[in-house]
Amino acid sequence: MQRRRFLQSFSLAGAALIANPGWAMTEKKSRKLIILHTNDTHSNIDPFPANHAKFPGLGGVAKRAALIQSIREKNENVLLFDSGDIFQGTPYFNTFHGELEMKVMSAMAYDAATMGNHDFDIGLEGFLNAQQFANFPFLCANYDFSETILAGKTQTFKIFKKAGIKIGVFGIGVELNGLVPEKLYGKTKYLPPVEKANETAAGLRKLGANLVVCLSHLGYSYADPKRISDLLLAQQSRGIDLILGGHTHTFLEKATVVENLDKLPTVVNQVGWAGVNLGQITIDIDNKLFQSEKLIIK
């Protein structure tokens, strides 16, 4: 199935994703793919306290797990991803050094994640020690770990088969120099994100991927127009359908649609931080409908 015939035929027209008015009324039985995603959860295991100024009672892994389970019970084809910065932010990280975060994500059956800058905060050895408790892969296309103890411990991409299509997923990380002390990432080589993203997307298309998803920790956008971000990556990309972002803790009410180098739509989304929200992308394959939602965990 060619990209033009697949995604461009969906209801993506306009400057933003808007639910098709006939979405809930369609009676035709169809294949639906649900993509759930989080970013920048930052070791937030418990909900915010009830008297919190911004997020009273919101978040918490138990409520997130219950919501994910309820979605899976109603839908056959569900994928769950994270876009990095799993670590750092609460005493749970200081005490358990990432082990707890990996265990709860494994219990929620995440399908894949990428690494954010704070996932290096206990160094490569610390990450490796925590990773043993993860039963999902870390996808990192532009971090070259070949000369480190993480060699062979991450993947460039993974292809999932759901709802009769192939979904190719890869990860892209932010520049570590200046964000992370060099002693924590060692001989990790940072490769150009746009170049690696396009190269990986092209490779996934050759392997038959109908839908290509990038788990990005570049950040949604910046005041400096030349600083690489999810929006710039989308504009300078080919073959990427979805960019699920992190790093800038951006709370988007609805996903953004960006025209790529081939004048085709690339969808960019991010759901804040601390596990307050769960992003949901629903693709109704047979009825050619595409919807983005922000689910508040309360």
Query: What CA–CA distances, in Å, run from 237 to 84, 199, 265?
Result: 21, 10, 10
Q: How would you write the pLDDT of the chain (298 residues) with one tens digit per residue?
A: 344 445 554 544 322 333 333 333 344 567 899 999 999 999 999 999 999 999 999 999 999 999 999 999 999 999 999 999 999 999 999 999 999 999 999 999 999 999 999 999 999 999 999 999 999 999 999 999 999 999 999 999 999 999 999 999 999 999 999 999 999 999 999 999 999 999 999 999 999 999 999 999 999 999 998 999 999 999 999 999 999 999 999 999 889 999 999 999 999 999 999 999 999 999 988 877 888 899 999 9
Q: φ, ψ for residue 53 (rounded to 5)? A: -65, -40
State which fold the 3-10+31-296 domain adopts.
Answer: Purple Acid Phosphatase; chain A, domain 2 (3.60.21)
Q: Which of 33, 40, 22, 20 is nearest to 72 (CA)?
A: 33
How far is C-alpha 211 from the geometric centre of its chain's CA atoms?
A: 14
DSSP 160: E
- Count Cα neighbours of 204 within 13 Å in the Cβ-side half-sphere: 31
Domain ranges, ordered by start, for the chain: 3-10+31-296
By DSSP bridging, strand 78-82 and strand 32-38 are parallel
Residue appearing with tokens 């009769």? 164
